[in-house]
Structure 1
Amino acid sequence: MKVAALDLGTNTFLCLIAEGDKNGITKVHKDLVQVVRLGQGVDKTGEFHPDALIRARACLAEFKKEMDAQKVDKILAMATSAARDAKNGKELFKIGEDLGIPIEIIPGEDEARITYQGGTVGLEGKDKVSLIVDVGGGSTELIVGKANQILFAESLNIGAVRLTERFVTVQPIPAKEQEGVTQFASSELDKVLGEIRKHKVERIIAVAGTPTAIVAVEVGGFDEKKVDGYFLSKERLQFWVKEFAQTSVEEKKTKYQLGGRADIIFAGASILLAVLDKLSMNGMYVSTKGVRYGVALEMLQTP
C-alpha cells in the first residue's frame, strides 16, 4: 500500500509518501517539507492569520499534486498545537476538504504514541528508556518510552514560534530577552521533571526541524544519512544557542542556510538545551523521523 502521511505543524508542514504493509515502511518515495508558519500570531490573537491560511492552502495544493502523481492509496493529515488553539481552526479543515486531504486533530494520547513510534523508526536499542523531545512551533511534546510501551507523555506550551513571538523583539537578541525564553522554558519543564526522572531516562532523542537544522549546520548541509542518528553534545548545543542569539536573522539565513527557521531557531535550541540541563544529560541523538512516520505506520497497520 502507498500512503501519504502529513504532519501539519505550527511552523512546518511535512508530507511523507511511503510504501509498506502492516509490518512497517518498506520504501520512501517522497519526503516533502515547507515552512508555512501556520501559527503566526496565534499566541496573541487566538486565531489563524489570513496570510497563514493562504500559505497553508498553497502548500497543501502542492503536496496534493505530488500525491496524485504518486497515485497514493490513502491520505491522512494530522494537525497539532496550532489547530487546537485557533478559534477559526475550521478554516484549516475547510482547506483540507477542498483539496481532498482529510485532516484530523491528534488526540493527546494518540499523539504521544504516534510521535514515539515515528521518532524511534530505524533506531537501535529500543529496550533503552528513551525520552523523545519534539519541539514544535507552538508546543513541545515529551514522551518517555521503552520498546513499544509509553511510560509518560506530556505536551507543554513551549514552542519555537510561541516563545519567539512572546519574548523576542529584535535579533541579535538582547540578554534580557534571551533570559525570558530560557526562564519560561525552564519553568514549564519543571512541571513534568519529577515524572520524567522517575523513569530513569537512558537517552534523549530529539525530532523535528530544530535539531535536524542544527545538525545540518554542524555537518555542512542537510544529508539524511549524516543527520539521522547524530549525537548532538550539550557543549555544541550551548555553542549554537549562543551563536543564534548573537546573529541577525539575515546572518542565520545566509551563513547557516536556516531559511524560514532562522528567526525561531534560537528559541527552539534553547528549549532543547533546557531539557539537557534539567536532566543533567551530556547530549541527545537526533532523528529525522517523527510524527509523519508515525502517521504512515498508523495507516499501514490499520485496515
Structure 2
Amino acid sequence: MISESAITQQSRTKEEPSMVGAIDMGSKNFKFVFGQKVNGRVTTELIRKEQLEIGKEVTENHGMIGRSKFRQIEDTLSQFVSYCRDRGTTTVLAIATSAIRNARNHQQVIDLAGEIGIAIEVAEGEREGEVGYLAATGGAPNKLVSDSGSKSIQIAWWNNDKVQSRSIPVGYELAYESFVERASTLDETQENFSRFLDGNFKELPENTDRIIALAANTITSFVIGEKGAGCNNRTLTRNALNDRMSELQGLSPAQYDSLKASLPKAEKILPGLVFLDYLMERTGHGEVLIAEAELPVGLIVEYFLKWE
C-alpha cells in the first residue's frame, strides 16, 4: 500500500535525512512502515503487519509479557531494522501503545529494542491521538480524526494551530462487553454507549471541515459493502449509516442476539456503528472519510516536519 501526504516543502538541505522506518507496537498487531522524502514530498509504504497479540498476552499472563513473546518481539523488530538498513537508513522510529504501556515489565521491551537500535516512545492515549491525526491528515489543519482500537479510543482535532486530543482506555473490545453483549436491542446499546461517550468526550469541536476515521474499514464494509480494488479511502455518509442502523433497530431481542453470535467481527462492528453515528451527530458532519493510514505514518510525517 502506497500513500502520499499532502506535505510539501522547499528543497532539502544536504544534512536532512530522506528515509526513515517507523513501527506501531499495538495491542493486536505490530505495523511496519517505510517512509521517504523525494523532491519535497513524503511517501510511505506499509511493509507488513505482524499479529503479536500483546494485549491478550498481558491480560492472560497477569500483566506480564512472557519469554516466548519477547522472542517474537525481538525477531520481528530485528527483521525490520535489517530491512531499513538494506534500503539505506538506520533511523527507525517506534511507538508503543496501551498494551505495552500497561505491561508490568514494559521496561524490558524498551531495553530489548534499544539493544536492536530502536528507541521506543511509550505513548499515553493523548499522544497516540496526536500521531493518529498526523497520519490521517499529513499535518493539514482543521480536521477531526478518530481512531477506535481494541483497547482505547482517541479523538484528535486542530485547535489554535496545534493538535488537541482526548483518549479513553476503552476500545471496541470492552465497549462490546459493556454495551453490546448484554443489550437486548441496538437501541439499548446506542443509549448506554452514547451516554458513556458523553461523559468522556465533552469538548468535541463543531467547526472542523472534515472527519477522518482510522481503523473503520470493517465497519464501513458492513454498511456499504466491500471496497473496490485500488480504492484506498472511502466516504461513509450519515444517511447510509442511519439506513443500516435502522435495519438493526428493527430486530427483535432474539434476532439481535443471533446477529451478535453470527456476525463476523461483531465485537468491532456493532460498537463502531454507534461510535461513528455519535461522532457525526455531535460534531455536525454528514459524512466521514475512512482513511487507510497506519499510525507509524504519523511518526514519519512528524519526523520530516521537524526539518522544515
Q: Same fold, TM exceeding 0.5?
A: yes
Q: TM-score range by the shorter chain?
A: 0.7 to 0.9
Name the structure 2 match of 1:35: 51
Paired residues, what number?
280
Aligned AA (1:156): I
Aligned AA (1:220): E
Aligned AA (1:5): A
1:13, 1:67 → 2: CA distance? 16
How far is 1:165 from its partner? 5.8
1:250, 1:94 → 2: CA distance? 43
How far is 1:139 from its partner? 1.1
How far is 1:155 from its partner? 0.8
How far is 1:3 from its partner? 0.6
TM-score (norm 2): 0.71
Alignment of 1:40-51 (within 5 A): 40=56, 42=58, 47-48=63-64, 50=66
Q: SS state of the match for residue 295, structure 1? A: helix
1:131, 1:110 → 2: CA distance? 15
Deviates more, 1:45-54 or 1:87-96: 45-54
Do the aligned residues in 1 keep the contact of 2:135 with 2:298 (CA within 8 Å)?
A: yes
Q: SS state of the match for residue 203, structure 2? A: helix
2:61, 2:185 → 1: CA distance? 21
Q: Which has the larger radius of gyration?
A: 2
Deviates more, 1:61-70 or 1:46-55: 46-55
Q: SS state of the match for residue 95, structure 2? A: strand
Distance change >3 Å, CA 87–CA 181, structure 1 → 2: farther
Name the structure 1 match of 2:143: 130
Do the aligned residues in 2 keep the contact of 1:38 with 1:82 (CA within 8 Å)?
A: yes
2:20, 2:191 → 1: CA distance? 41
Aligned AA (1:191): G
Distance change >3 Å, CA 273–CA 48, structure 1 → 2: farther
What does the per-residue CA deviation read over 1:126-181, in whole Å, with 9 as the maximum and x for residues that have no partner?
Answer: 56x3211011221111112169532x32111221234346667xxxx563497786
Do the aligned residues in 2 keep the contact of 1:216 with 1:227 (CA within 8 Å)?
A: no
Q: CA RMSD in A?
A: 3.9
Alignment of 1:79-228 (within 5 A): 79-106=96-123, 110-121=127-138, 126=140, 129-145=142-158, 149-150=162-163, 152-164=164-176, 175-176=183-184, 182=190, 185-197=193-205, 199-207=206-214, 209=215, 211-215=216-220, 218=224, 220-221=226-227, 223=229, 225-228=230-233
Q: SS state of the match for residue 151, structure 2? A: coil
1:280, 1:46 → 2: CA distance? 43
Deviates more, 1:46-55 or 1:131-140: 46-55
What does the per-residue CA deviation read over 1:211-266, in whole Å, with 9 as the maximum and x for residues that have no partner?
Answer: 1333456453574x4232x11123444538959975578862xxxxxxxx675444
Name the structure 1 match of 2:35: 18
Distance change >3 Å, CA 23–CA 114, structure 1 → 2: farther
1:63, 1:245 → 2: CA distance? 43
Aligned AA (1:271): F
Match of 2:88 among 71, 84, 88: 71
1:96, 1:36 → 2: CA distance? 15
How far is 1:19 from its partner? 0.7
**How much identity, in percent, do the aligned residues show?**
20
